Amino acid sequence: MYVLIIFVFKLMIKTSKLQFSYSSENSFSFPDISLPKGEHLLILGSSGVGKTTLLHLLAGLLPASSGSITVGNTELQNLSRKKLDAFRGREMGIIFQNDYFINALSVGENLELRLYFPDKKKDSARVKELAERLGISNLLHKKVTALSEGQRQRLSIALALVNKPNIIFADEPTASLDDENCEKVVTLLKEEASNSNANLLIITHDQRVKTMFKNHLYL
Ligand SMILES: Nc1ncnc2c1ncn2[C@@H]1O[C@H](COP(=O)(O)OP(=O)(O)OP(=O)(O)O)[C@@H](O)[C@H]1O
């Protein structure tokens, strides 16, 4: 009796011939990406080359001019705006260069609220655990307007991770952090991604981060 074992590497993110234009003088063609589930990727390149643009395309925040983006079995360009927003909310955690918080709420309330949408979850233990690992547990009752740049960056990271997304996108997540917090944050991002077999895509200029990942995409 023969036993046929087929290993299937499930591709989580796949792009093909992706192009985007802000204007006729400002257009981009991106290299194809094939990222198996659970893999990490660092996106590198000089300033203005289109790294943030690529990340926004992959997250469905910008519509591609041409080409395709497949996440799991879903082609992003086939989703309506509403379905795309719901898909992003369920599947993706995004750490933006400049995040927007709800200024009227405390750090902890911002986190609780992010957890509540889209699945109406309440999990104070998750908020506490993440805040402790990011070194912001002493700030949970503070207004977000009272945070330093580095503290805001760590809150952005907590907000992106609190729902345990399948894909984590991070745009320069360590830019405002000192060496100790830089290492803490990268380790946390890698651990969080590994714990839920999530993909992790990071844009960075930070030399400290480059040596911590093996998959690099240069634009
Ligand atoms: N909303 C926009 N409208 C028009 N042009 C834009 C817009 N956003 C970005 N650009 C331009 O597109 C180019 C790529 O921008 P992008 O932010 O993707 O680059 P980047 O590689 O991430 O740069 P950096 O490393 O400096 O953050 C830049 O020339 C930028 O000025």
**The pLDDT of residue 82:** 92
Question: Is the ipTM value over 0.95, yes or no?
Answer: yes
- Ligand 1 centroid to Cα of residue 54, in Å, is 10
Residues whose beta carbon lies within 6 Å of some atom of ligand 1: 22, 26, 45, 47-53
Residue of the nearest CA to atom 26 in ligand 1? Answer: 47
- Ligand 1 centroid to Cα of residue 30, in Å, is 14
**The pLDDT of residue 143:** 94
Position 3 in a domain? no
Cis before 31? omega within 30:
no
**The pLDDT of residue 12:** 86
**CA separation (Å) from 45 to 58, 134, 165?**
17, 28, 26
List the one residue out of 45, 58, 131 whose CA is nearest residue 88.
Answer: 58
Position 5 in a domain? no
Position 1 in a domain? no
Helix, strand, coil proportions of the chain in percent (round to 5)?
35, 25, 40
- Ligand 1 centroid to Cα of residue 98, in Å, is 14
Residue of the nearest CA to atom 9 in ligand 1? Answer: 53
Per-residue exposure over 197-208, b if at least 16 CB sit within 10 Å of its own CB, e if not: ebbbbbbbebee
Q: From CA 70, how far away is CA 219, in angstroms rounded?
A: 20
Q: From CA 161, how far away is CA 130, in angstroms rounded?
A: 8
Per residue of the chain (219 residues), give pLDDT as tens: 454 444 445 668 999 999 999 998 899 999 999 999 999 999 998 888 999 999 999 999 999 999 999 998 899 999 999 999 989 988 999 998 877 899 999 999 999 988 877 666 777 788 898 899 888 999 999 999 999 888 888 898 899 988 889 999 999 988 888 898 889 889 989 988 898 889 999 998 888 898 899 999 999
**The pLDDT of residue 118:** 61
Widest CA span in the chain: 69
Mutate to test the pocket of ligand 1, among 22, 171, 205 (most ligand atoms within 8 A of CB): 22
**The pLDDT of residue 6:** 46
Position 4 in a domain? no
Position 205 in a domain? yes
Judge contact between 158 and 168, C-beta under 8 A: no
- Ligand 1 centroid to Cα of residue 48, in Å, is 5
Give the position, in ligand 1's atom list, of the atom nearest the Cα of 23: 4
Cα 212 to chain center, whole Å? 17
Judge contact between 54 and 30, C-beta under 8 A: yes
DSSP assignments along 42-58, one per residue: EEE--TTSSHHHHHHHH
Domain count, the chain: 1
* Tokens encoding 183: 């290492």
Beta bridge partners of 74: 71
Domain of 148 in residue numbering reads as 11-218
List the one residue out of 112, 90, 110 whose CA is nearest residue 100.
Answer: 110
- Which domain CATH number covers 185? 3.40.50.300
Position 203 in a domain? yes
Position 134 in a domain? yes
Position 36 in a domain? yes
